[in-house]
Every structure is written in C-alpha cells, then in structure tokens.
Structure 1
Amino acid sequence: MSGHSKWSTIKHKKAASDAKRGKVFTRLAKEITIAAREGGGDPNGNTALRLAVAKAKEANMPKDNIERSIKRGTGEIEGGELIDAIYEAYAPHSVGILIEVVTDNRNRAIADVRHAVTKYGGNMAAAGAVSWQFTRKGYISISQEVDQDELFMVAAEAGADDVQFNSDVAEIYVALESFRAVQEALEAAGYKMDESSLIYDPNSPVTLSQSESLQVMNLIEHIEDLDDVQNVYSALELSDETIAAMEAA
C-alpha cells in the first residue's frame, strides 16, 4: 500500500479523537468551501464537493454548518477570504515535505508552521527546494469489493496512469488532465469513491528505519494538528512495521 493511503488510513482511525478536539469540523468546513469555490455549489455536478459533504456527514457535522460552508465557497454569504498556500520543508533525516494550508491569515499560518517544523526537528525550505520531488496528480481510493480486472479497465480506458490493488483498497493515480474523465467513468460504472482529490505524489519515495520514520511522522502529526493545515505530503515510504508501531501508540 502506498505511503499516501497508509497515512490516510491512520488518520481515519484517529478521526474520533480529532472530532473531540473540534478540529475535524474546521478542516471539513474548509474542504467544503474550497470545493464549492472551485467547482460550484451543486454536489451533483461537483465530485469534490459531493465527497467532502459525504465525509462531513460521516463525521456528524451539522447540516447548517455544511450548508454555510457551501454558501461561503460560492460567495452567497460573507466570510473571511480563504487563501491556499504550499510551504516546503525538510523533516528529520532530510525527508522532503509539502505542507498544504488553507487560511484566512497567511502570517499566522506561516508562523505556526515554522514553529512546529523547527520544534520537531525539521527546517523550512525555499520555494522549489522540495516541490520538484513531487508530481501533482489526481488520487482516487475505492474500498468496496470489486472485480479488479473490470475496475482496471474502466480506469485505464478513461485515462488513469496507475491502479494499485491492496488488501482493503484500490488506489487510482491520474494525470490532472484526465482526472475528471476518470471520476465520471468510475461513477458511471457504479463505483463508490472513498476519496477523490488532488495530491502531491513523491517521485522517488525514501525508506528509513522504523525509529527514523517515527521521528518524521511525529513531525508530520504535529504539523497536521495546526488549524490552518489541510494536508502534509512527504517523500517517506512507510513500512508495515512503522504503521503497526504508529497504530499501537
């Protein structure tokens, strides 16, 4: 299983504790607002928004909050303007990371990110120093039981670059220009997408020892706890042993 889905799985298991801290609603609201801003407020015609709303409902986010987030994205109600930003940094052991931020206060966001990065053993990087290690792609995951050959053909014929099958999830990686076509083809074929989003995929993932990997992931977890941070992407490939140690923590 790829590093992206492994870490996503861990985060999903921790969602309950995140909800208790009230942070998951803030993150979901921003995701809904951004999706509505970029693709319109109708979930039927906006796959990203439809999936964001589904995640919000799964987390028991109140309906009023969901509707307000959509209207904020479409400009129907006032709200602080949300700014998208990507910050580059190095985690311990020189592992490159990209930090995706959605904020209404850029100065606060960069100050919080810089503090967390330096506190937990990393250092900020200049623009372009890390981003070349990643490629922007569409990412889709499907956890329902599927016929692997059929899913592969549907995705590949629509333009997917890679389809990976693991014990409990199918992962589809797509070039940006084919992302919408693959989404539509999968929906038309009856597949339920658990996640469908744009990610930064590492070109050459690095492998570290378990203790070194845990140091990197400790930094990433603390960065992801920041209110303005939506996602963190790293060039680290997580081993099964490291995953087991993180889940046991």
Structure 2
Amino acid sequence: MSGHSKWAGIKHHKMAQDAKRGQKFTKIIREISIAARQGGPLPENNPRLRKAIEQAHEANMPQDNVKKAVLRGTGELPGVTYEDASYEGYGPGGVAVLVEATTDNKNRTTNELRRLFSQYGGNLGESGCVAWMFIQRGYITLDKTKYEEEKIMTLALDLGVEDFKSDDEETYEITTVPEQVDKIVNSLKEQKIDIVQSEVTMLPKTYIKLAGKEAEQMLGLMNALEDHDDVNNVYANFDIPEEIMEKVSA
C-alpha cells in the first residue's frame, strides 16, 4: 500500500500544478458534464457529480464554469458529448496498468494511448487483461504527524473500516468499501480529524517490484498517461524504491 500512498502524494502535487496551467480545468469540466448526464444535475443525489464539483472548488474553478458544465451534461446547453472509456495494458516488467478516461473520440484516444505505452516499454492490451488484478476500494489518508496512532486506529475500527495501516512514514492509510467513504470522512471530520486525501480508487491485489531502467520507464509512463487530456485516472501495481519515486516529485 505504501507504493500507492507515495504515488498518490506525487499525483496530488501534479494536480496542483495542472490546475495552474489550465489542464486540470479541462478534465474537471469533462467529468462534471458526464457525471451530470449519467446521474442527473443534483449533487446531493449524484455522488460522482458531487465529487467532481468538490474538485472544481479545490481548483478554484469559477462557479459559472461549473454550472455550464452541468447544463452541457444534461443537454440544456449545446456542447461536445463525452463518454467514459477504460483501457488496460502492461508497463515495463509486466506491470498491470488500468486507465480511466473521458473522451469524445475513442479511436483517437486509443491510438494515442497505444503510442504512449509503446514509447515507455509497455503495450496496450485487450479489455479484461488486467482489471482482475485490482479491487475497488475507498482510500483515506491522514497526517501521521498530527495524531497518535492509537487514537486514529480506535476511531477507524469503531467506524468499521476494512483495513488500517501505519506503515508509511507520513500518513495513516484507511481502506473501506466504496459506499462507506463519505460516511467515514464525515465522521472523522466531526472528531476534528483533518483528511489529507479521500477517494474511491482501484487498489492492486499484488505488486511487481521494479528498479533501474524499468522503474524510470514506468514512472515516465505514469506521468505521460496522467498528462494526457483524456485521462482521468491511472492505476498500476508497481513497487518502486522511494529514492526513485522522489525523482518524479523533484
């Protein structure tokens, strides 16, 4: 899990940089539109839309942009129609890679992602080739320097979480079934516990250790995929030494 935690921290830093250059706005607008189209325009009844709007607020997106994205999703304003797409493949060393995207042209996105996989020593695979290697879970992290482990562990267990880990040097990690994420986050906030990160994600069932050139290629592939305009999330089951991971956040 520590590999996931480290990459999640780097990804969070990259998202802040993306917001500054506008790329994050584009991805959030697409997510809002497709969430509104699939689940309706009311955030209280649409968890996916609620999460996307929260991301918009965190990125300081103007409220007018949010409203227009919702209206485009419901068809009340004209605009490009986006759809969800998922891609599976292998990175260097046989690492399983799962990509979630939003696109208005699946053929274009498929060709571009195939090129990126090939460029970094991997290959795009068939649907179903690696999805079975991941499990969907709610994932919550807390700042380890702020709270005593016994207090957080007791709170977490009382809330019925699936797993609690304190292996990482900087964070406590909580995993739970996806349906319980909002409930657990709200309960922790009521106890004055600050949340570093909360999301519904895909966690690997097993990990593949990488080092040297393969590790650097894998991190290059992750960065390239996440920088692609159509890509929302990338999941992979690599285990890379921390000193190499640090290079990508420098």
Q: What is the TM-score when the length of structure 2 is the normalising length?
A: 0.83
CA distances 1:58-97 after superposition (whole Å, capped 9, x unpaired): 3332222122233444555444333222211001111110
CA distances 1:167-200 after superposition (whole Å, capped 9, x unpaired): 4333221123544543443344444434332211
Aligned-pair distance for 1:115? 1.7
Q: Is the 8 A contact 1:202 1:234 kept in 2?
A: yes
Q: Does 208-217 or 158-167 show the bigger shift?
A: 158-167
Q: How many residues align?
A: 248
Aligned-pair distance for 1:135? 0.9
Q: Does 155-164 or 97-106 show the bigger shift?
A: 155-164
Aligned match of 1:214 in 201, 213, 216? 216
**1:238 aligns to what?**
240
**1:155 aligns to what?**
156
- Where in structure 1 are there 5+ consecutive unaligned residues? none
- Paired with 1:123 and 1:98, the residues of 2 have a C-alpha distance of 12
Q: Does 164-173 or 177-186 show the bigger shift?
A: 177-186
Q: Does 146-155 or 80-89 show the bigger shift?
A: 146-155
- Paired with 2:17 and 2:178, the residues of 1 have a C-alpha distance of 34
**2:124 aligns to what?**
124
Is 2:11 the partner of 1:5? no
Matches within 5 A, 1:18-29: 18-29=18-29
CA distances 1:9-33 after superposition (whole Å, capped 9, x unpaired): 2223334543454311112223334
- Paired with 2:58 and 2:182, the residues of 1 have a C-alpha distance of 24
- Where in structure 2 are there 5+ consecutive unaligned residues? none
- Paired with 1:168 and 1:106, the residues of 2 have a C-alpha distance of 39
Q: Is the 8 A contact 1:210 1:241 kept in 2?
A: no
Equivalent residue letter for 1:235 = N
Q: Is the 8 A contact 1:51 1:196 kept in 2?
A: no
Structure 2 residue matching 1:146: 3-state secondary structure:
coil
CA distances 1:85-112 after superposition (whole Å, capped 9, x unpaired): 2211001111110011112222222122
**2:225 aligns to what?**
223
Equivalent residue letter for 1:94 = G
**2:165 aligns to what?**
164
Distance 1:15 1:196, change over 3 A: closer
Aligned-pair distance for 1:218? 0.7
Equivalent residue letter for 1:23 = Q
- Paired with 2:160 and 2:81, the residues of 1 have a C-alpha distance of 35
Q: What is the TM-score when the length of structure 1 is the normalising length?
A: 0.83
Equivalent residue letter for 1:5 = S
Structure 2 residue matching 1:14: 3-state secondary structure:
helix
Q: Is the 8 A contact 1:48 1:196 kept in 2?
A: no
Q: Please, what is the CA RMSD of the aligned residues?
A: 2.8
Is 2:103 the partner of 1:107? no
